[in-house]
Structure formats: C-alpha cells, structure tokens
Amino acid sequence: MALDLEQIKPLIAAALAEDIGGGDITSNATVPEGACGLAVIMAKQEGVLAGIDVCRQVFLAVDAGLAIEAREQDGAALDLGDVVMTIQGGTRSILAAERTALNFLQRLSGIATATAVYVNEVKGLRAKILDTRKTTPGLRLLEKYAVACGGGQNHRMGLHDMVLVKDNHIEA
C-alpha cells in the first residue's frame, strides 16, 4: 500500500495546530532566535518502522528549510538504538515539530510492530493477517498503511469498497 502524502497534509496541519497553536512559547522563551541544532531520532526498542515520510512531512510543515535524512525505510526491522532519522536546522523549529512527528511515528510503528508479531505467528500457514475498519477516526489511511508496513494485508477502506453482509444487516 502506497501512502499518498497529499492526502495526509491536512491531518498533519490539524495535528500541528492542535499542539503548537499560536506558537511554541517555551522554545521561544528559552532558545535563542536563529539557533541551529541537530536532532537524532533513535529506536528505543526493537520493532518495525512505519510513518517515516509522515514524520518528515511534519518537520517540513513547520520549517521547509530543515535538512532531513531518513536512515531507515518503512517496514524496516529496527533494533534498540538504530538511528531512524536526523534533522538539522533551526532549533526552535525542530522542538516545535518534535512531539507531533514522534506521535505519528510511534503510533504507526507500534501498529506495524504488533502486526508483524501476528504475521510471524501464522508464517507457514494458509492464514493471512487482515486489518479492519475499526480504526481511529481520521487516522484510517495511516493506520492501514502501518498494518501493511508490518506485513499485514488491507481488507477494505470503507463501506464503499465492497459488500460485506454482517449480523447487523441480517438482524435489521
């Protein structure tokens, strides 16, 4: 499953507006204007990476001048301490984007990691691990992408994709 970054830009904008609001007052009060720095995102545990491009887009939405290097790709198996991404540029910008970027990366990688565990459990069998529509409102595309990064398969995106008669339909 490919991730259409244009589709998620409004979600990123909403997430940044929710977190930053009128500005990062702590960074503005404590970090000198024009200060530059280097941030390193490292894996804090073993897992499967998902959301690296989303993470990059969060940082770029705050400051298009940041230099970002992804060291791993979505679907990669990570070990403790693996460097996932480096971000270089304005320290205030990095700090303002950091939490939102990490929230996306952690949530999606968690889904990919959990999916990979299940996929590994059925390896060699005829079983497949499929996702559902039971996703967090507004995050369906990203969560289904994370399932695919973990080796799972996508079922249907919504009610519009296919007919699926369930007990509720029969009882209605």
Within 8 A by CB and 6+ apart from 99, the residues are 19
Instruction: Tell me, yes or no, if 134 is annotated catalytic.
Output: yes
Burial class (CB in 10 A: 0-12, 13-18, 19+), 114: middle
∠ CA 33-94-27, nearest 5°, is 45
> Residue 106 has which token pair?
């952690």
Catalytic residue among 123, 134, 144, 166: 134
The identity of residue 105, as a single letter, is L
Q: How far apart are CA 82 and CA 151, in angstroms?
A: 20
Tokens 């296919």 label which residue?
162
Q: Let me know: does 109 contact 48? Beta carbons within 8 Å.
A: yes
Enumerate the active-site residues: 134
